[in-house]
Amino acid sequence: MSGAKKHGKTGLGHAMDAFSLGMVFLIGYGATRIIPSFGGGAAILGALGFLLLAGTLMSELVEVVGIPHLTGYLLAGIIAGPYVMHIIDHQSADRLEAVNSLAIALIALAGGAELRLSSLKDGLKGLVVATIIQTFVGLALSTAVFVFAKPAFVRDMPAMGILGVGLLWGVVSITRSPSAALGILSQTRASGPLARFTLSFVMASDVVVVVVLATVLTIARPMVEPGVALSFAAFGNLGHEILGSVAMGTTLGLLLAAYLKVIGKQLLVVLIALGFGATEVLHYLSLEPLLTFLVAGFVVQNLSKQGEKFLHAIEETGGIVYVIFFAGAGAHLNVPLLREFWPIAVLFTGTRALITFMNGKVASRIAKDGPAVRTWGWSPLISQAGVALGIASTIVRQFPSFGAGFRDIALACVAINELVGPVLFKFALDRTKETQAPSPSLSDAEEASPG
């Protein structure tokens, strides 16, 4: 993505930000104590406004020490959320999820539009090698760590059952966070080998993890539940989801390209309609919105001349939505659960990071990647968020006998990775100087997109 703007605030400006942030939290805390039953539509509007203001101010403060805006948004949500200051209650936090579909659509469209076919061809070998090693070696090693650690909720199981649950944990461990990676790239407008590798890997891993999950669910069920026959029904649904998402994304991308060329106006309305309306249609059709929108953005960029205009329209729309999306995610982080399970969560997240790091080094050596990817190619793969939680929820539904314990540890691990991962990725982009290019103007985009 294109380049980050330098931050020009003085010490006095940062002091004013800190004072303003403190006042926002103080006013929000006081308001919720004076009117504790404040609810309905006014409550959700208040929560949106509060998170937008607090998240923006927090991101300005953490940027001083090189921490990405995304982490600032998360921190604002955690502090304001139902587990700390209780400015945002559980009901309001749940209702904020309506914004998630718009944010995910914009993030995925931007990610797909940033991926040029020429750069994908250049890095194809590295992408394939990294995907294979990070997926299959990562799955095997994460399973081994789980079996060795033997969490409390599986200690009474036979060895084969523990191995089956370990395989399921391995799937959770190899999931990444497309929204976090693409959110960092959107903020920094990074451009270079590491940014291109991240975009390629995010597109590939979203598909690969879905395939691996269906495979492991099929294999693990007879191991965890002796006497249950092997069933391959999941693979039929899998084919529908992947092929249908790619086909729908291609169609959507062509329609967007035609709209940009022929009309090219009211793009804000179009993007909001896609984020809310199209996402609901995709869910109804049992398709994957993230993959669909990634493909749509890729088609606009590579099969038309409207890519730059499209990207700038997303950037102008997405800023506010990203703040609310990630601040809302912070409000959902279960702080008491993390406090309860922190020893096993630290073990699993630490070993996962080490496995990801080692696999990245091995894959880069085999593929003979350039210095940026060879040194930092593992850094965008630490973050976890919605995909991991979605898989954990699927496992809870499929295996209710141990699902609750599995979910609790998964939530604690995701909380750590969601906070640490974006910081590592932003640090890597800064070290490789991929965030230093000047940001193009909207007029440049329009000149580059005739018609």
Distance CA 21, CA 36 (A): 22
Average pLDDT value for residue range 436-448? 43
Maximum separation of any 2 CA atoms in the chain, in Å: 69
Whether the CB-CB separation of 241 and 72 falls below 8 Å is answered with no
The pLDDT of residue 364 is above 80: yes
User: Residues 409, 348: contact at Cβ < 8 Å?
Assistant: yes
Residue 129 has pLDDT above 90, yes or no: yes
For residue 121, pLDDT over 50 is answered with yes
User: Of 52 and 440, which is predicted with more confidence?
Assistant: 52
- What is the identity of the amino acid at 54? A
For residues 28 and 212, is the Cβ–Cβ distance under 8 A? no
Give the type of residue at 425.
F
pLDDT digits (tens, 9 = 90+) for 221-265: 888 877 666 666 666 776 777 888 889 999 999 999 999 888 877
> Which range in 104-118, 222-236, 343-357, 433-447 is most confidently predicted, on average pLDDT?
343-357
118 in helix, strand or coil? Answer: helix
pLDDT tens, position by position, 12-36: 877 888 888 889 888 888 877 777 6
CA distance 145 to 352: 9
> Which residues lie closer than 8 Å to 298 by C-beta, 6 or more apart?
112, 113, 115, 203, 249, 253
pLDDT tens digit sequence for 278-326? 888 888 888 878 788 888 988 998 888 888 888 888 877 767 777 887 7
Q: Which of 427, 434, 328, 414 is nearest to 67 (CA)?
A: 427
Tell which residue, 181, 188, 185, has the closest CA to residue 202. 181
3-state SS, residue 287: coil
Quote the pTM value.
Answer: 0.74
Structure tokens at 184: 């960092």
DSSP annotation string for 255-275: HHHHHHHHT---HHHHHHHII
pLDDT grade for 131, boundaries at 50, 70 and 90: very high
How many other β-carbons are positioned within 10 Å of the β-carbon of residue 100? 18
What is the C-alpha to C-alpha distance for residues 387 and 172, in angstroms, rounded to an integer?
Answer: 9
Closest C-alpha to 72, from 315, 425, 330, 381: 330
Position 207 pLDDT exceeds 90: no
Q: Left if phi > 0, otherwise alpha if psi is -120 to 50, otherwise beta: which for 191? A: beta
How far apart are alpha carbons 211 and 144 in whole angstroms?
21
> What pLDDT sits at residue 176?
87
Phi, psi angle pair for 325, to nearest 5°: -60, -55
Within 10 angstroms of residue 230's Cβ, the number of other Cβ atoms is: 8
Q: How many residues does the chain have?
A: 451
Please tell me the predicted confidence (pLDDT) of residue 436: 59
- As a 3-state breakdown, the chain gives helix, strand, coil percent values, each rounded to 5, of 80, 0, 20
pLDDT at 386 over 50: yes
